[in-house]
Amino acid sequence: MRQSKSKALVVLALAALPVTAQTRPQYPESRRLDLVETLHGVPVADPYRWLEDVDSAETAAWVEAQNRVTFGVLERIPARAALRERLTKLWNYERFGVPQKEGGRYFFTRNDGLQNQAVLLVADALAAEPRVLLDPNTLREDGTVALAAYSPSPDGKRLAYALAEGGSDWNTWKVRDVATGQDLSDDLKWVKFSDAAWTKDGRGFFYSRFAAPKEGEDLKGANKNQTVWYHEVGTPQSADKLVYERPDKPEWYLFAQTSDDGRWLVITAFEASSDQQALFVKDLATPGSSVRALADAMDARYTWVDVSDTTFLVRTDKGAPNGRLVAIDAARPWPDQWKEIVPEAREALQEASVVGETLFAHYLQDARSVIRRFDLAGKPKGEVALPGLGTVGGFGGRRGDSETFFAFTGFTSPTAIWRHDAAANRSEPFRTPKVDFDPAAYETKQVFYASKDGTRVPMFVVHKKGLALDGNNPAILYGYGGFSVPLTPAFSVPLVAWLERGGVYASANLRGGSEYGEAWHEAGTKHRKQNVFDDFVAAGEWLVANRYTSPKKLAAMGGSNGGLLVGAVVNQRPDLWGAALPAVGVMDMLRFHKFTVGWGWVGDYGTPENSDDFEALRAYSPYHNLKPGTCYPPTLVTTADHDDRVFPAHSFKYAAALQHAQGCANPALIRVETRAGHGAGKPVSKAIEEAADEWAFLHLALGMEGGR
């Protein structure tokens, strides 16, 4: 009791002092277990495993105490209030989603600026005044219920939609009458990573779900044995019909789609543990037909694009690391019978779609979007003219459509929505946002640098025009490097706020992404994962060598797999960074596979169950490679208590271990968001608060004006 009171007095005394980067916080006690396991003959300590029980009273008290210390530091940073005010003003702009057209109606999202969640609108014609169909902001006062997905029926009369609560990946699906705006009785539970694939008659849809988890396991239990079901509108979920299951393949994800003509159900099986896919089809026009294989070797990636009669257009990297388009006849699906429609290109093929009589193919050329057009036989028809160098998303639609829509964005270009006439190859603005900043005041460069092994790696660098290259600029280096995710130019409000204060922003296209196809991805996986860290370190060294910044002014930033990246490079090169912002990171590489969907990451990481993979994982695992007495850079770990993608205990354990190991006064803080998850569906209000806190922390750590 006396010790607790004494600690409280110390914290109160510190609160009265001006905060600096050299003010060592008084951290809460993090109990250390004498827990050592022998894995593959190697003793492995895990002193903070008790924090894996995220629902225990002890863990809850630890989180509360850590937040109290963290916010005690953040609240004393002078720049924080001004940052929050500016972020709020910047965020207050109208923004839209890409429209989807069904039954002559247009469905799209809109946020008027500071709404916590985007609102779903519907318009009966392109020029008609849209009306509100679904407003998630009315479902919970704090804005933590999000519209996770939606799917209008082919006739546009009904809407299947998914709600996510508190940032969880779990979705509840409902059905709404589009004309009346009223919900029907449908209520589908335990759905995750699924869409709603309507039948042509609009009577029902196919979806994927898991079995209900055991009590208390919904946010941390492993999710396996996903199954495909058919739901008839107006009936209880208990009456749904099982369509496809693979109990022999418990680690497969199953995703259902239906063809435009209503004849085919296409099921894509994702083998997350190997990054491979398979395609299965069911002829819905033939009663009692079975699900049969279209491409089931699980030897490459296969993505269904379109179908005509019995011939399926498929995007695959089989025999083509950069991707190609092939035609597969369901009656003769063997690889030697495939017909190549669009051959592999020098650039990496990311997506493909068919609208009207045009085939659109989305390529990445040095991490920027290029859209090429083909006829349905694969004959080139030129490119779609884009507004600039940036990133494109969209080009969805049906064979009978004459128009499609796409979004375009860049680092200083707010996401604009464009309408494209497929036959005329002409684009026009549909919705263009206006943000309170001058994009002409900034410039974006793409540079190329050599990694440790000589590999040429691209990086985007964004800053104010006329930047002095004197090594004194605060800079953020952002990276991801995994799971075939490319880092392409994209607008964000926090980025603008950072640039306005003289900050440099660099985004490195590390191996592990798909910027240059599957070979680039493979080069950053499993036993080659160190390449990702080497690429990131080389990017930081390039920024320093070229006088954009200096180590004491350079922050490492990344989230999820990028949080792992930050943890690893801070351990390996603590001298290179002036600050670290690891968000929702995978920090315990020896137990990641034991929680939620972590088992599916072994395709990129390998598995700790294998002795060779274990050695590779142990060599860089952020939690296991902290060395007591080392001076680590000022660090702000961020996570959320409802993150059921990357279990929050990763960040809890890492933060506790970092605080124990820290050999200097640099702060090692953790910020735990409540009623939020991995990031999707986060309310705008929470996003503003988090960004203000992160930038305020960097002002403190990097010695920026207003940071002390």
pLDDT, tens only, 137-151: 999 888 788 899 999
Report the C-alpha gap between 649 and 640 in whole angstroms.
10
Shared domain check, 662 and 513:
yes
Contact call for residues 510 and 453 (beta carbons, < 8 A): no
Single residue among 212, 238, 258 that ends a domain in this structure? 258
Q: Is residue 399 part of a domain?
A: no
Identify the band that residue 205 occupies on the pLDDT scale cut at 50, 70 and 90. Answer: very high
| Per-residue pLDDT tens over the stretch 31-67 | 999 999 999 999 999 999 999 998 899 999 999 999 9
pLDDT value at 274 more than 80: no
Return the structure tokens found at 445. Answer: 């460069």
Q: Which two tokens stand for residue 6?
A: 């004494």
Q: Rounded mean pLDDT of the chain? A: 92
Q: Of residues 458 and 116, which shows the higher confidence score?
A: 458
Smallest CA-to-CA distance from 310 within 289, 283, 286 is with 283
Q: Please report where in the chains the tokens 């898991």 appear, as a residue.
A: 210
Q: Are 327 and 309 in contact (CB under 8 A)?
A: no
Is 365 among the domain residues?
Answer: no
pTM of the predicted model over 0.85: yes
Residue 334 CB neighbours (<10 A): 9
Query: Is 536 in the same domain as 484?
Result: yes
| Number of DSSP helices (H) and strands (E) in the chain, helices first | 11, 39
Better-predicted residue by pLDDT, 577 or 599: 577
- What does the block give as tokens for 125? 């014609």
**Could you tell me the pLDDT band of residue 647, with boundaries at 50, 70 and 90?**
confident
Mean pLDDT of 670-684: 70
Burial (CB < 10 A; 0-12, 13-18, 19+), residue 14, is middle
pLDDT at 169: 82
Say how many C-beta atoms besides its own lie within 10 A of residue 571's C-beta.
21
Residue 677 CA: distances (Å) to CA of 401, 430, 638, 640, 645: 37, 32, 11, 5, 8
**Same domain as 26, residue 175:** no
Give the separation between CA 277 and CA 300, rounded to whole angstroms. Answer: 6
Q: What are the backbone angles phi and psi of residue 644, rounded to the nearest 5°?
A: -105, 20
Please give the Cα distance from 281 to 292 (Å, whole number): 5
For residues 625 and 509, membership in a common domain is answered with yes
pLDDT computed for residue 193 by the predictor: 87
Of the residues 212, 229, 258, the one at which a domain ends: 258
**Residue keyed to tokens 């993505």:** 303
Same domain assignment for residues 83 and 215:
no
pLDDT above 80 for 285? yes
Helix (H, G, I), strand (E, B) or coil at 50: helix
Identify whether residues 536 and 667 lie together within a single domain: yes
Residue type, 334: W
Q: Residue 19 above 70 pLDDT? A: no
- Asked if residue 252 has pLDDT above 70, the reply is yes
Cα(484)–Cα(516) distance, integer angstroms: 10
Domain final residue pick, 242, 258, 274: 258
Please give the positions annotated as active site: 560, 678
Give the per-residue SS3 of 442-461: EEEEEEEEECCCCCEEEEEE
Residue 42 and residue 120 in one domain: no
CB 476 within 8 A of CB 698: yes
From first CA to last CA, the distance across the chain in angstroms is: 34
Give me the mean pLDDT over the 295-311 stretch.
Answer: 95
Q: What is the CA radius of gyration of the chain?
A: 26
pLDDT at 542: 98
pLDDT-derived band at 599, boundaries 50, 70, 90: confident
In the numeric block, the tokens 């930050």 are attached to 566
Residue 300 belongs to a domain:
no
Percent of the chain at pLDDT > 70 equals 94
pLDDT value of position 10: 29
Question: Nearest CA to 696 among 203, 162, 19?
Answer: 19
Q: What residues are paired with 417 via a beta bridge?
A: 407, 431
Per-residue pLDDT, 298:
92
Instruction: Tell me, yes or no, whether 270 lies in a domain.
Output: no
The residue segments making up the domain with residue 674 are: 2-89+438-701
Summarize the confidence of residues 623-645 as an average pLDDT.
90
- The enclosing domain of 54 has a CATH number of 3.40.50.1820
Residues 191 and 209 placed together within one structural domain of the fold: yes
203 and 140 part of one domain:
yes
Rounded Cα–Cα distance for residues 352 and 314 (Å): 9
Give the dihedral of Cα atoms 410, 411, 413, 414; nearest 10 deg. Answer: 100
The alpha carbon dihedral of 79, 443, 565, 55 has a sign of: positive
> Is 426's pLDDT higher than 70?
yes
The DSSP call for residue 513 is B
Residue 279 lies in a domain: no
- Does the structure show a pLDDT above 80 at 170? yes
- Tell me, rounded to whole angstroms, the distance of Cα 542 from its chain centroid: 27
What is the per-residue pLDDT across 512-555, written as a single tens digit (0 to 9) for each? 999 999 999 999 999 999 999 999 999 999 999 999 999 999 99
* Confidence grade of residue 656 (pLDDT, cut at 50, 70, 90): very high
Does 220 fall in a domain? yes
Give yes or no for a contact between 142 and 675, defined as CB atoms under 8 angstroms apart.
yes
Number of domains in the chain: 2
Strand pairing class (635-640; 668-673): parallel
Own/partner contacts of 610-618, CB < 8 Å, gap of 24 or more, are 611/40, 612/527, 613/526, 613/527, 614/39, 614/40, 614/42, 614/590, 615/40, 616/526, 616/527, 616/529, 617/589, 617/590, 618/42, 618/44, 618/589, 618/590
Stated as kind and residue range, the H or E segment containing 351 is strand 348-355
For residue 3, what pLDDT band results from cuts at 50, 70 and 90? Answer: very low
* pLDDT score for 224: 85
Q: Looking at the domain assignment, is residue 409 inside a domain?
A: no
DSSP strand pairing (197-198 vs 188-191): unpaired
pLDDT, residue 5, reads 32
Q: Rounded to whole angstroms, how far apart are CA atoms 658 and 668?
A: 7
- pLDDT bucket at 220, cuts 50 / 70 / 90: low
Residue 82: in which H helix or E strand, if any?
A: helix 79-91
Residue 250 inside a domain? The answer is yes
Q: Mean pLDDT over residues 150-172, rounded?
A: 91
Residue-level pLDDT at 12: 28
In CATH, what number is assigned to the domain containing residue 145?
2.130.10.120
Residues 82 and 118 in one domain: no
Q: Does one domain contain both 79 and 180?
A: no
Q: Who's near 23: CB < 8 A, 6+ residues apart?
A: 14, 17, 73, 665, 667
The rounded percent of the chain whose pLDDT value lies above 90 is: 85
Q: How confident is the model at residue 473 (pLDDT cuts 50, 70, 90)?
A: very high
Instruction: Say yes or no: 191 and 241 in one domain.
Output: yes
Residue 14, pLDDT > 90, answer no
